[in-house]
């Protein structure tokens, strides 16, 4: 009747507990519900009070600065997080890679200003407004930029000026620093001054996340954000989440990262992954246009992860009874992410190509970056392609185990012919079936599954060969994520 591949039914497992295993052989769409949502951010720390590779709760940006150091990647990433408490946020700081170099670039000014103006310079997500007076030389302009950066405690870089050539070096070592965008808004450049920007390219070194992953413990982290996007880090994180998602562990989660690249670059990068537990948002690098987003990937990743966690925690702010954390993410604002301009931004064809390769996408709406499509890197598997399916799957495991253990946890097991007197804690296969039917009825009322009659007919429960165990099976047909309406307009002759 029931065919398990992960759950041992031969009596070898003796710890009393209910377990849920997923069978996607029939390509079912997954499910979800209302449970407390946890978000874990993993990123590079600098100074601060935190000990590396240790989990700390984070309540807002100021907490992250205190823990992980001003000017660190992790503090910068956490700056996008609101402190409303809807999502429980924690973070793990990771030390600099042992063998590494800091990313460095330059902004070189030449000439003499013939007008006074406020020049705007972007370094990643930071904006610096530099006052330039008529008659200022390139050296004076460079000094003013250095002063602005130095005065910013949140600056991710240090700056040194040499006769107008400003060397900008990431404070933290590692290859991730090469993603920092250096940009002078040309529309604000004073007349008489010219500039040439050289992007950071010298950053090297990737972290070893083994200790950080070990620090995750046996807590269920529903949403995990990696500030790193290198192949080794994401592969290690995806492998850990796959291990945690088995029936025996039952603490699965979904990891998020972000990568600024081209369409061709996305295809190459995404080809390194095939994980149902990993989602990578692809956005435009400078190669796509001068107005590409200046937001670094660690900020984008945290913004995306928080957007997913918030939707899972609060599926419908106008309906407190709604519990489906697998609601569509389409159109949800990504906090802290400044979208690329029109020239650089991926068009619909490019986004379609990225999604088919296993990458998530965004689009712009009223000046904000919003989720377009959220997928996992396992694009070839219909059962796992949508991120919302993963949130539903994790919720279903939680909801089923919570319901079954709360109802029958103190019971003895008997066959269906047993008729105990009222109040005697006995659980029979038909009792379990009744609970699973009630669960399906609830799911149907929430709009999470369809074809309730077929679900009820397919519910099975029987005594197992393993002592004290009842084997059960359900076959939910989950509602699909809305993708759009295809409308044919036929004109009358």
| CATH label of the domain that carries residue 132 | 2.60.40.4390
Domain boundary among 178, 198, 218: 198
Q: Percentage of residues in the chain with pLDDT exceeding 90?
A: 76
For residue 154, being part of any structural domain is answered with yes
CA distance 212 to 185: 39
For residue 159, being part of any structural domain is answered with yes
Residue for token digits 């949800």? 332
For residue 423, being part of any structural domain is answered with no
Contacts of 399 (CB under 8 A, 6+ apart): 33, 35, 439
Task: Specify whether 288 is located in the same domain as 335.
Answer: yes
| Residue pLDDT, tens place only, 121-136 | 999 999 999 999 999 9
Quote the pLDDT of residue 147: 98
pLDDT band at 314 (very low <50, low <70, confident <90, very high): confident
Domain boundary among 355, 370, 387: 387
Asked whether residue 26 carries a pLDDT value surpassing 70, the answer given is no
Task: Specify whether 87 is located in the same domain as 117.
Answer: no
pLDDT band at 307 (very low <50, low <70, confident <90, very high): very high
CA distance 193 to 185: 13
CA distance 419 to 75: 61
For residue 253, being part of any structural domain is answered with yes
Task: Specify whether 193 is located in the same domain as 242.
Answer: no
Quote the pLDDT of residue 9: 81
Three-class DSSP category at 1: coil
Q: Read off φ and ψ for residue 472, nearest 5 degrees.
A: -145, 160
Q: Hey, what are 7's tokens?
A: 């759950």
For residue 374, being part of any structural domain is answered with yes
DSSP 262: -
For residue 450, being part of any structural domain is answered with no
For residue 89, being part of any structural domain is answered with yes
Domain boundary among 330, 352, 387: 387
Task: Specify whether 180 is located in the same domain as 258.
Answer: no
Task: Specify whether 91 is located in the same domain as 109.
Answer: no
Asked whether residue 32 carries a pLDDT value surpassing 70, the answer given is no
Task: Specify whether 266 is located in the same domain as 353.
Answer: yes
| Residue pLDDT, tens place only, 123-175 | 999 999 999 999 999 999 999 999 999 999 999 999 999 999 999 999 999 99
Look at the chain and report how many structural domains it folds into: 2
- The residue segments making up the domain with residue 344 are 38-96+226-387
For residue 289, being part of any structural domain is answered with yes
Q: Compute the mean pLDDT over every residue in the chain, rounded to the nearest whole number.
A: 91
| Residue pLDDT, tens place only, 401-421 | 989 999 998 999 999 999 999
Asked whether residue 27 carries a pLDDT value surpassing 50, the answer given is no
Asked whether residue 379 carries a pLDDT value surpassing 90, the answer given is no
| Residue pLDDT, tens place only, 453-466 | 999 999 999 999 99
Task: Specify whether 86 is located in the same domain as 168.
Answer: no
Task: Specify whether 89 is located in the same domain as 112.
Answer: no
Task: Specify whether 316 is located in the same domain as 251.
Answer: yes
**Model confidence, pTM:** 0.90
| Residue pLDDT, tens place only, 165-224 | 999 999 999 999 999 999 999 999 999 999 999 999 999 999 999 999 999 999 999 999
For 300, half-sphere exposure in the C-beta direction (CA atoms, 13 angstrom radius) is 31
pLDDT band at 33 (very low <50, low <70, confident <90, very high): very low
Helix residue ranges per DSSP H, 28-96: 61-68, 73-78
Task: Specify whether 194 is located in the same domain as 230.
Answer: no
Task: Specify whether 169 is located in the same domain as 234.
Answer: no
Task: Specify whether 240 is located in the same domain as 150.
Answer: no
Quote the pLDDT of residue 35: 62
């Amino acid at each position: 009747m029931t065919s398990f591949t992960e759950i041992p039914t031969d009596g070898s497992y003796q710890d009393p507990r209910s377990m849920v295993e997923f069978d996607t052989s029939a390509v079912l769409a997954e499910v979800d519900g209302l449970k407390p949502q946890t978000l874990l951010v993993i990123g590079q720390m600098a100074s601060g009070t935190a000990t590396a590779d240790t989990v700390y709760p984070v309540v807002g940006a100021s907490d992250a600065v205190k823990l992980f150091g001003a000017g660190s990647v992790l503090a910068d990433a956490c700056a996008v997080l609101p402190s409303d408490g809807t999502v429980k946020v924690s973070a793990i700081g990771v030390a600099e890679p042992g063998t590494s170099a800091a990313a460095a670039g330059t902004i070189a000014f030449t000439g003499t200003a013939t007008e006074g103006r406020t020049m705007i310079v972007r370094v990643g997500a930071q904006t610096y407004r530099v006052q330039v007076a008529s008659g200022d030389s390139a050296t004076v302009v460079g000094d003013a930029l250095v002063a602005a950066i130095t005065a910013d405690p949140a600056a991710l870089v240090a700056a040194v000026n040499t006769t107008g050539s400003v060397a900008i070096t990431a404070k933290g070592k590692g290859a991730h620093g090469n993603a920092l965008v250096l940009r002078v808004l040309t529309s604000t450049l004073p007349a008489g001054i010219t500039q040439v920007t050289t992007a950071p390219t010298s950053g090297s070194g990737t972290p070893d996340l083994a200790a950080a992953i070990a620090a995750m413990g046996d807590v269920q982290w529903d949403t995990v954000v990696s500030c790193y996007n290198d192949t080794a880090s994401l592969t290690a994180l995806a492998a850990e989440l796959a291990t945690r998602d088995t029936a025996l562990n039952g603490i699965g989660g979904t990891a998020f990262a972000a990568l600024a690249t081209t369409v061709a670059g996305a295809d190459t990068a995404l080809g390194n992954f095939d994980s149902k537990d990993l989602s990578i948002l692809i956005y435009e690098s400078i190669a796509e246009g001068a107005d590409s987003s200046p937001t670094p990937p660690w900020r984008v990743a945290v913004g995306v992860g928080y957007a997913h966690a918030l939707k899972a925690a609060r599926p419908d702010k106008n309906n407190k009874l709604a519990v489906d954390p697998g609601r569509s993410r389409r159109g949800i604002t990504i906090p802290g992410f400044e979208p690329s301009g029109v020239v650089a931004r991926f068009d619909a064809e490019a986004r379609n190509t990225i999604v088919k390769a296993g990458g998530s996408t965004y689009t712009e709406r009223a000046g904000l970056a919003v989720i377009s499509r959220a997928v996992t890197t396992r694009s070839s598997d219909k059962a796992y392609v949508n991120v919302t399916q993963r949130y539903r799957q994790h919720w279903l495991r939680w909801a089923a185990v919570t319901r079954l253990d709360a109802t029958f946890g103190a019971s003895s097991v008997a066959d269906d012919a047993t008729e105990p007197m009222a109040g005697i804690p006995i659980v029979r296969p038909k009792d379990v079936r009744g609970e699973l039917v009630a669960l399906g009825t609830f799911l149907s009322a929430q709009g999470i599954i369809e074809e309730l009659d077929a679900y009820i007919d397919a519910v099975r429960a029987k005594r197992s060969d393993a002592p004290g165990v009842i084997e059960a099976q359900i076959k939910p047909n989950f509602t699909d994520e809305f993708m759009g309406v295809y409308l044919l307009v036929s004109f009358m002759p």
